[in-house]
C-alpha cells in the first residue's frame, strides 16, 4: 500500500529540529513577559468574512491563498492566514478593548496556499504581538523595541534590518491611489497582467512589484509622501526621532506597502539576506481602522508578526542555538537483569525528584551491559547509574555510578545513597 505523505508545504518538526523551536518559543515567552504582554489564544478556523473584511478583498491572501470551505451547515469557513484578524475579533467579542489598553501576544499555525519554497510554506507559524488602545508613536516604538530585544536574545541583531515607511491614513491613500491610477492608465503598454488587474482595484500593490518593467513605471509615478497629511507626517517623524534616541537603526523604504489592507501610517518589516528570496522575517505596523471595520468602536492599534520557520532557518544555519539546549539526558540508568527493573524505575523516580532540572532516562527493554552503555554515551548523558543483578546475589543491592567521560571514574554505592552520591559526579 502506498505510504501517506504530509501535504505539500506543511512540515513535520522532528525531535532534533524541535530543539530550535523550543529555544525560540522560550525566548519569546521570556521577552513578552518582560514587556508585560499577555497571551491570547483564538481558533484556527474562523468565518471567511472575518478575513475578507480585514485583510481586504483585493489582496493576494484573500484572492488566491486562503484555505476556504463550506462546513456541514453550509457556512463558509477559512483556516486563518494570519493572526491579527482573529485576535481583534476575539478581543472585541469579549469586550477587551472598550476604553482599555491591551498588550497581547499569540503564537500558532497559519495557512496560506502559496507556492512552497525555502522559507515559504502552506502551513507556517507566526508569533505576533498586538497593542490596542494607544495612539502612538510611543507604543509603535515599544513594539519595535520588543522585536529588537528578541533579536538580541537570539543573537541575530546583526543579520536583521528594520525597514520602515509611512503609508498615511485612509484619506491620504485614497487621494494617492486616484492619482496613481490616473498615471498608470497612461502606461498600460508597460504593465504586466497582474499590474493591469490591480491598477484600478489596489494600485498601491504595484509599488512592490518584482517585475523590472513595472518598477520602471513606478519610478516615474507620483510618490505617496506628497499626499500625506500633516498628522500622519508628524506621527512618523516622532517615531523616527524616538527610534534614533533609543538607538534602534532603520532604513526608510518608500516601496514598503505590505500585503494586507488594514494598515495606516507607519508600517515596517525586519528583513534579512540570510534566507534568499524569503527575506521578510517580521512584518507589522499600525492598523487604527480595523476594530471599527469589524464592528467595534474606533480603537488605536499596532503590532507585528514573526514567521517562525524563517527564524528557525536562520538560527540553524547561523548555529545560534546554544549547545546546552541540545542536551536532553544527563543521567542514564542501566539495568542488567529483569529482577532489578522495579528498583531501577524507583531509583529513576528518586533521582528525578532530587534533580528536577536534569533529564534522567531509565533504560527499558532489557539488553546486554555493553549495548545499554553504548546508548548512555550516544544520548549524551554525563553519568550512568548501573544496577547489575549478578553483583547483588545474596548481598544488599549496590549500584555503580560511572562518569561517562575519558576519566571513566566510578564508585560503588548503596541503592539508597544513589541520589546523594550523584551530586559529586554531576558537579552540582
Ligand atoms: P505578514 O507580513 O503577512 O503579516 O506575515 C508576517 C510574517 O509571517 C512574514 O514576515 C513572514 O516571516 C511570515 N510568513 C508569511 N507568510 C509565510 C509563509 N507562507 N511561509 C512562511 N512564513 C510566512 C501578517 O501576517 C500581519 N498579521 C502582521 C501584523 C500583526 N500586523 C499587525 N499585527
CA gap 26, 253 in Å, rounded: 32
Atom of ligand 1 nearest to the CA of 114: 19
Supply the pLDDT for residue 395.
58
Work out the pLDDT band at 210, boundaries 50, 70, 90. Answer: confident
Residue 82 beta carbon below 6 angstroms from any ligand 1 atom: yes
Closest to 278 in 3D by CA, of 224, 317, 243, 320 = 317
Across 140-159, average pLDDT: 97
Q: Is 305 in the pocket of ligand 1 (CB under 6 A)?
A: yes
**DSSP for residue 357:** T
Ligand 1 nearest atom to the CA of residue 259, by list position: 3
382 CA distance to ligand 1 centroid (A)?
A: 42
Written as nine digits, the cell of 138 is 510611543
Residue 392: pLDDT over 60: no
Label the pairing between strands 76-79 and 45-47.
antiparallel
Mean pLDDT score across all residues of the chain: 93
145, burial (CB in 10 Å: exposed 0-12, middle 13-18, buried 19+): middle
284 CB less than 6 Å from ligand 1?
yes
Taking the centre of ligand 1 as the mean of its atom positions, its distance from the CA of residue 104, in whole angstroms, is 17
Which is more confident, 344 or 395? 344
| CATH 3.40.50.800 applies to domain 327-426 | yes
Q: Which residue's C-alpha comes closest to atom 23 of ligand 1?
A: 307
What separation in Å is there between the alpha carbon of 123 and the centre of ligand 1? Answer: 12
pLDDT in tens, 405-421: 988 899 999 888 998 99
Domains 15-169+229-317 and 327-426 share a fold: no
CB of 283 within 6 A of ligand 1: the answer is yes
CA distances from 141 to 261, 285, 288, 414 (A): 21, 10, 16, 60
- pLDDT class for 209, splitting at 50, 70, 90? confident
Ligand 1 pocket, residue 124 CB under 6 Å: yes
Cell of 400: 555503580
CB contact at 8 A, 399 and 413: yes
Task: Domain ranges for the chain, please list them.
Answer: 15-169+229-317, 327-426
pLDDT of amino acid 195: 87
Beta strand 398-403 pairing with 383-388: antiparallel
pLDDT in tens, 162-198: 999 999 998 999 899 999 999 999 988 888 888 888 8
Tell me how crowded residue 65 is: count the other CB atoms within 10 A of its CB. 18
C-alpha–C-alpha distance, residues 217 and 214, integer Å = 5
pLDDT in tens, 324-359: 888 889 999 999 988 899 999 999 999 999 999 999
Q: pLDDT tens digits for 24-73?
A: 999 999 999 999 999 999 999 999 999 999 999 988 999 999 999 999 99
For CA atoms 242, 244, 245, 246, the dihedral sign is positive
Q: Is the CB of 401 under 6 A from ligand 1?
A: no
Angle at 262 between CA 230 and CA 58, to 5 degrees: 120
**pTM for this entry:** 0.92
- How many other CB atoms are there within 10 angstroms of residue 339's CB atom? 12
Q: Give the pLDDT of residue 394.
A: 54
- The CATH superfamily assigned to 15-169+229-317 is Bira Bifunctional Protein; Domain 2 (3.30.930.10)
- Specify whether the CB–CB gap between 61 and 48 falls below 8 A: no
pLDDT at 372 over 80: yes
> 266-275, 321-330, 389-398 — which one is most confidently predicted on average?
266-275
Atom of ligand 1 nearest to the CA of 303: 33
pLDDT digit string (tens) for 9-24?
999 999 999 999 999 9
Closest CA to 48 of 72, 65, 68: 68
- How far is the centre of ligand 1, averaged over its atoms, from the C-alpha of 337 (Å)? 55
Amino acid at each position: 500500500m502506498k505510504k501517506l505523505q504530509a501535504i505539500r508545504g506543511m512540515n513535520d518538526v522532528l525531535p532534533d529540529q524541535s530543539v530550535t523551536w523550543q529555544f525560540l518559543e522560550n525566548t519569546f515567552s521570556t521577552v513578552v513577559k518582560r514587556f508585560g504582554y499577555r497571551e491570547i489564544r483564538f481558533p484556527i478556523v474562523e468565518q471567511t468574512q472575518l478575513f475578507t473584511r480585514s485583510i481586504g478583498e483585493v489582496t493576494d491572501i484573500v484572492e488566491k491563498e486562503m484555505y476556504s470551505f463550506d462546513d456541514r451547515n453550509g457556512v463558509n469557513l477559512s483556516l486563518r492566514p494570519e493572526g491579527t484578524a482573529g485576535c481583534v475579533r476575539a478581543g472585541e467579542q469579549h469586550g477587551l478593548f472598550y476604553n482599555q489598553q491591551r498588550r497581547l501576544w499569540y503564537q500558532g499555525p497559519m495557512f496560506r496556499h502559496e507556492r512552497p519554497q525555502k522559507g515559504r510554506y502552506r502551513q507556517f507559524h507566526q508569533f505576533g504581538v498586538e497593542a490596542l488602545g494607544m495612539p502612538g508613536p510611543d507604543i509603535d516604538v515599544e513594539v519595535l523595541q520588543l522585536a529588537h530585544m528578541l533579536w538580541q536574545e537570539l543573537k541575530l541583531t546583526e543579520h536583521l534590518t528594520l525597514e520602515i515607511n509611512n503609508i498615511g491614513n485612509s484619506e491620504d491613500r485614497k487621494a494617492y491611489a486616484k492619482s496613481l491610477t490616473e498615471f498608470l492608465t497612461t502606461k498600460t503598454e508597460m504593465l504586466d497582467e497582474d499590474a493591469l488587474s490591480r491598477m484600478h482595484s489596489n494600485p498601491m500593490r504595484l509599488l512592490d512589484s518584482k517585475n523590472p518593467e513595472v518598477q520602471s513605471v513606478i519610478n516615474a509615478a507620483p510618490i505617496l509622501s506628497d499626499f500625506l497629511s500633516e498628522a500622519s507626517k508628524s506621527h512618523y517623524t516622532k517615531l523616527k526621532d524616538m527610534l534614533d534616541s533609543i538607538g534602534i537603526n532603520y532604513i526608510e523604504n518608500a516601496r514598503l506597502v505590505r500585503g494586507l489592507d488594514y494598515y495606516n501610517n507607519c508600517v515596517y518589516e525586519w528583513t534579512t539576506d540570510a534566507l534568499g528570496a524569503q527575506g521578510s522575517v517580521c512584518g507589522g505596523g499600525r492598523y487604527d481602522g480595523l476594530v471599527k471595520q469589524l464592528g467595534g468602536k474606533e480603537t488605536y492599534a499596532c503590532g507585528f508578526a514573526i514567521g517562525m520557520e524563517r527564524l528557525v532557518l536562520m538560527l540553524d544555519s547561523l548555529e545560534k542555538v546554544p549547545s546546552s539546549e541540545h542536551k536532553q539526558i544527563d543521567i542514564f540508568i542501566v539495568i542488567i537483569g529483569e529482577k532489578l527493573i522495579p528498583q531501577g524505575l524507583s531509583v529513576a523516580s528518586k533521582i528525578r525528584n532530587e534533580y528536577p532540572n536534569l533529564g534522567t532516562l531509565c533504560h527499558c527493554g532489557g539488553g546486554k551491559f555493553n549495548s545499554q552503555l553504548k546508548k548512555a554515551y550516544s544520548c549524551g548523558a554525563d553519568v550512568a547509574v548501573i544496577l547489575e543483578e549478578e553483583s547483588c546475589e545474596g548481598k544488599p543491592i549496590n549500584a555503580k555510578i560511572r562518569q561517562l567521560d575519558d576519566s571513566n571514574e566510578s564508585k560503588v554505592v548503596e541503592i539508597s545513597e544513589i541520589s546523594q552520591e550523584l551530586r559529586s559526579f554531576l558537579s552540582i
